[in-house]
């Protein structure tokens, strides 16, 4: 399947320069970039869905563990 994507001119310029520098086609680089972006987004969505499933099962971090975590990162606790 072929598709037409509108790309900002600054991104197109960067894509053209990179393709020339590394001797690859703009199409190959764009396909690789889109594939990586989609994989990254799927991973994020998977983490969110797992977190929601854990919450629905009542699996929460105990308050005292959260307080220790925040204290170790310089955040005031309640």
Q: What is the pLDDT of residues 58-74, one digit of tens each?
A: 998 889 999 999 999 88
Q: What is the pLDDT of residues 11-38, one digit of tens each?
A: 999 999 999 999 999 999 999 999 999 9
Is the predicted pLDDT of residue 77 greater than 90, yes or no? Answer: no
Enter the pTM of the model. 0.71
Question: What is the predicted pLDDT for the residue at 57?
Answer: 95
DSSP per-residue string spanning the chain: --------HHHHHHHHHHHHHHT--HHHHHHHHHHHHHHHHHHHHHHHHHHHHHHHTT----HHHHHHHHHHTTPPP-
């Amino acid at each position: 399947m072929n598709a037409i994507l509108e790309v900002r001119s600054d991104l197109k310029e960067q894509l053209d320069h990179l393709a020339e520098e590394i001797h690859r086609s703009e199409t190959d680089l764009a396909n690789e970039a889109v594939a990586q972006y989609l994989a990254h987004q799927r991973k994020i969505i998977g983490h969110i869905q797992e977190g929601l499933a854990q919450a629905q099962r009542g699996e929460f971090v105990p308050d005292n563990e959260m307080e220790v975590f925040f204290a170790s990162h310089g955040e005031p606790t309640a």
